[in-house]
């Protein structure tokens, strides 16, 4: 194989690898954002946060730390890193829905202790919940119905979507695409 063929094959491989490592964004308006921001209000702690977590092509570490704090396990106080892909999913949902209000957080990260306790009280709590890995959140938007939020999450095909209309929230995660 000559050098030119090798370089072409290498470039094609790099494009294919990057296509698998980052999902394509369904919303063109999200893909064009120069900054990604989130507005959050934790229902159990009353804490609020409005922050730009991604700017100039990279995640802002100080903002990520603030997000980790507000999405901590409010029952134990344990803080865990939140996967930036979950933040991107939330931001894309907010952008797609043109929502004005903050995401109301019911649950972000869950410690193993909290997850086990919740699991003992309800069959609906997964043993290996993605909440344990900082890859899931239970949310709602005050200016949108949970049915509309569910529809937006499903349309993005970015992970799991659980619909809890009686409790007025939607579970979103960045695991495999599925719904319940």
**pLDDT computed for residue 77 by the predictor:** 98
Q: Residue 33: which pLDDT band, with cuts at 50, 70 and 90?
A: confident
Q: Is the pTM of this model over 0.95?
A: no
Q: What DSSP state is assigned to residue 83?
A: P
Asked whether the beta carbons of 74 and 80 are under 8 A apart, the reply is no
Please report the pLDDT score of residue 22 as a whole number: 46
Q: What is the dihedral of CA 150, 155, 159, 162, to 10 degrees?
A: 20
Q: What is the pLDDT of residues 124-160, one digit of tens each?
A: 899 999 999 999 999 999 999 999 999 999 999 999 9
Q: How far is residue 92's CA from residue 135's CA, in Å, rounded to a whole number?
A: 15
| All structural domains of the chain | 26-179 (3.30.1380.10)
pLDDT of 24 reads 52
């Amino acid at each position: 194989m000559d050098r030119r063929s090798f370089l072409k094959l290498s470039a094609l491989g790099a494009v294919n690898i990057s296509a698998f490592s980052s999902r394509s964004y369904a919303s063109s308006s999200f893909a064009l954002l120069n900054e990604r921001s989130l507005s959050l209000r934790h229902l159990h702690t009353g804490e609020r946060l409005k922050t730009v977590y991604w700017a100039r092509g990279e995640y802002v570490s100080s903002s990520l730390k603030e997000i980790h704090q507000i999405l901590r396990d409010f029952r134990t106080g344990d803080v865990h890193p939140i996967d930036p892909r979950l933040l991107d999913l939330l931001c894309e949902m907010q952008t797609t829905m043109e929502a004005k209000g903050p995401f109301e957080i019911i649950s972000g990260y869950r410690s193993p202790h909290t997850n086990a306790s919740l699991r003992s009280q309800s069959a609906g709590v997964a043993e290996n919940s993605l909440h344990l890995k900082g890859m899931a959140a239970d949310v709602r938007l005050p200016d949108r119905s949970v049915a509309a939020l569910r529809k937006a999450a499903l349309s993005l095909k970015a992970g799991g979507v659980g619909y809890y209309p009686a409790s007025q929230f939607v579970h979103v995660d960045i695991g495999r695409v599925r719904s319940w």
